A and B are shown apart, each in its own frame.
Chain A
């Protein structure tokens, strides 16, 4: 089988001599058939992401996110369901404490060396790997927020907890996700990102409990909202800087 360029050249030379009945370029015909037979039909999510992001490449990179694959999502749902059952059994809302940790782990495992098999190859591509990271991080955050909200609402409805407990974890989740992302990009290791994110969240929860006597103090105390957001902004800036390609070194 000859290459596309050669075939294009052959075709041009044939065209210059005028078409003849025996001049059918079977190689070219076969390529057209193979292109149709091997063509992949993008799924619904990929088509929607392609329209939203205006980049089929970015959309394809998004649907290959390791922490958005079915196995990972199932594991996240199982952890949150365990939180719902623990909430029902003890009356203590565990889901709002678990949701930021689950989301932080998902963000750390969204993109990077050792996580994405073709990471090095992806870094030489025209679609910026920083954009891939951003799109994947946002998608993982959104999916985990939806999972967490569903689980928190289920647990809260059963034990009749306040809205602050049901929704108050969204802001801390932003901070934990940003921390995990910053650590993962700085260290270029998803495991470091997960460890730092989980350790940071555990320290905050335990510190809040020892200060106020309540396990949920870190999600119900409205005075912590601004510090959480400021911390998230700093971590996001660190992640942004860590993925920057320095100018002036070319």
Chain B
């Protein structure tokens, strides 16, 4: 199982954003559907180890993200794409993807080739040296996908799917 969740909750002050969720997911593509404010993004952020749960049990890629060592191992294999992709406007596409490859602890020798492969895979090869501030919203999203797949990801939590071209890009990038 890639994701095993049991009775997971997340509170922000008095608000229960996620309340007793249990699910299991193996290989494949899964979607979380629900109305605004249902807690989908919070659940995905917990699955990406960005925020810890308030209670419940969460195992990712067979490991417990509550401990430092396993969490680091999970993070090496997670390709997270947040709802609002933050980016450094002055970075080029290749620099942006390289930055996250390095933060994912990839061996430096592998980084240039993995960056090139990820950038080509999302169809941004001709924009690899373009500054992010010059890209359209769709291209930025694809740059975000490139950083998510630059490592061989075992698990890709991502949110904010509203654009058909991006969904098509994802579909072509499935590991």
Provide the residues of chain A in CB contact with B119, threshold 8 Å. 34, 38
Contact of B86 among A38, A39, A121 (CB under 8 A): A121
Q: Is B161 an interface residue (CB 8 A)?
A: no
Provide the residues of chain A in CB contact with B65, threshold 8 Å. 250
Provide the residues of chain B in CB contact with A117, threshold 8 Å. 86-89
Interface contact A5-B175, CB-CB below 8 Å: yes
In the complex, which residues 31-58 of chain B have their Cβ closer than 8 Å to any Cβ of chain A?
45, 48-50, 52-58
Contact of B115 among A35, A56, A119 (CB under 8 A): A35
> How far apart are B10's CB and chain A's nearest CB, in angstroms?
9
Classify the secondary structure of B's interface with A: mixed
Binary contact track A123-139/B, C-beta < 8 Å → 1, others 0: 11111100000000000
Scoring B58, B85, B112 by chain A CB atoms within 10 A of each residue's CB, the highest score goes to B112
Contact of B103 among A32, A57, A120, A248 (CB under 8 A): A57
Provide the residues of chain A in CB contact with B49, threshold 8 Å. 123-124
Provide the residues of chain A in CB contact with B76, threshold 8 Å. 126
Q: Is B21 an interface residue (CB 8 A)?
A: no
Provide the residues of chain B in CB contact with A61, threshold 8 Å. 99, 103
> How far apart are A215's CB and chain B's nearest CB, in angstroms?
41
**CA–CA, A30 and B116, complex, Å:** 9
Contact of A125 among B54, B73, B103, B152 (CB under 8 A): B103
Q: Is B67 an interface residue (CB 8 A)?
A: yes
Q: Is B113 an interface residue (CB 8 A)?
A: yes
Contact of A118 among B86, B94, B102, B125 (CB under 8 A): B86
**CA–CA, A209 and B45, complex, Å:** 49
**CA–CA, A121 and B157, complex, Å:** 11
Known pairs A5-B175, A117-B88, A250-B58; A125 contacts B75 (CB<8 A): yes
Q: Is B108 an interface residue (CB 8 A)?
A: yes
Give the number of A-B contacts (CB < 8 Å): 134
Interface contact A125-B100, CB-CB below 8 Å: yes
Known pairs A118-B86, A119-B86; A35 contacts B112 (CB<8 A): yes
Provide the residues of chain B in CB contact with A247, threshold 8 Å. 66-67
Interface contact A250-B125, CB-CB below 8 Å: no
Interface contact B128-A38, CB-CB below 8 Å: yes
Interface contact B112-A250, CB-CB below 8 Å: no
Interface contact A121-B85, CB-CB below 8 Å: yes
**CA–CA, A39 and B123, complex, Å:** 18
Known pairs A3-B173, A4-B114, A118-B87; A56 contacts B108 (CB<8 A): yes
Contact of B112 among A36, A119, A126 (CB under 8 A): A36
> How far apart are B122's CB and chain A's nearest CB, in angstroms?
10
In the complex, which residues 97-141 of chain B have their Cβ closer than 8 Å to any Cβ of chain A?
98-100, 102-105, 108, 111-121, 123, 125, 128-129
Interface contact A250-B117, CB-CB below 8 Å: no
Interface contact B102-A60, CB-CB below 8 Å: yes
Q: Is A122 an interface residue (CB 8 A)?
A: yes
Q: Is B82 an interface residue (CB 8 A)?
A: yes
Q: Is A237 an interface residue (CB 8 A)?
A: no
Among all A-B residue pairs, the 9 with the closest Cβ atoms: A250-B66, A4-B117, A57-B102, A125-B103, A35-B112, A117-B86, A34-B116, A126-B105, A38-B94
A-B contact pairs, 27 of them (CB 8 A): A1-B121, A1-B123, A5-B175, A30-B120, A32-B113, A34-B125, A34-B128, A35-B115, A38-B94, A56-B108, A57-B105, A60-B98, A117-B86, A118-B85, A118-B87, A119-B86, A120-B45, A120-B50, A120-B86, A121-B86, A121-B147, A124-B48, A124-B75, A126-B73, A127-B104, A247-B67, A249-B56
Given contact pairs A34-B120, A38-B115, a sample of 11 additional A-B residue pairs in the complex whose CB atoms are under 8 Å apart: A35-B112, A57-B103, A60-B103, A116-B86, A121-B86, A121-B147, A126-B73, A126-B76, A127-B102, A127-B103, A128-B68
